[in-house]
């Protein structure tokens, strides 16, 4: 999921519902990855041997439950105030240590003069 193995939230969640079967059957091309990213994922058996017991047993969800989880992850964790303009205001000009602050590139920065 975080490594780009699944292109949709639903597929990532379905993977976590039956990690063992999903990992053993994983096919990057079938998941829709570009061919240049679809090389061999490497040996999965050592990973599965250390699988967390919390995800080792397959779980079943009704379609409605799956839809609710996808909706929550897609929409419920977003803060509508997290816009580039608002986030830009949160970047400090200086920090207590006196060290230089990091430079953040945000959409629209080409129109904003540097601080």
With 70 as the cut, is the pLDDT of residue 111 above it? Answer: no
List C-alpha distances in Å: 63 to 14, 82, 101, 109. Answer: 11, 31, 47, 42
Residue-level pLDDT at 1: 67
Could you tell me if residue 70 is inside a domain?
yes
| Cα 29 to Cα 103: distance, rounded to the nearest angstrom | 37
Whether 17 is covered by a domain: the verdict is yes
Residues in contact with 42: Cβ distance below 8 Å, sequence separation at least 6, in sequence order = none
Residues spanned by the domain of 16: 9-76
DSSP 35-53: GGG-S-----HHHHHT--H
pLDDT tens sequence across 81-95: 888 888 888 888 889
Let me know if residue 55 belongs to a domain: yes
Domain contains 58: yes
- 9-58 confidence digits (pLDDT tens): 999 999 999 999 999 999 888 888 888 887 777 888 998 999 999 999 99
Please give the tally of structural domains in the chain: 1
For residue 89, being part of any structural domain is answered with no
Per the domain annotation, does 2 fall within a domain? no
**Residue 41 in domain:** yes
Reported confidence tier of residue 110, pLDDT bands at 50, 70, 90? low
């Amino acid at each position: 999921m975080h490594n780009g193995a699944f292109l949709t939230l639903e597929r990532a969640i379905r993977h976590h519902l039956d990690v063992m079967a999903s990992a053993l059957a994983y096919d990057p091309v079938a998941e829709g990855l570009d061919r240049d990213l679809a090389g061999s994922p490497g040996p999965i058996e050592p990973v599965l041997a250390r699988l967390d017991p919390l995800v080792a047993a397959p779980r079943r969800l009704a379609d409605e439950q799956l839809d609710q989880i996808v909706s929550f992850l897609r929409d419920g964790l977003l803060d509508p105030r997290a816009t580039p303009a608002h986030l830009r205001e949160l970047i400090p000009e200086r920090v207590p240590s006196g060290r230089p602050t990091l430079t953040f590139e945000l959409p629209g920065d080409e129109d904003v003069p540097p601080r």
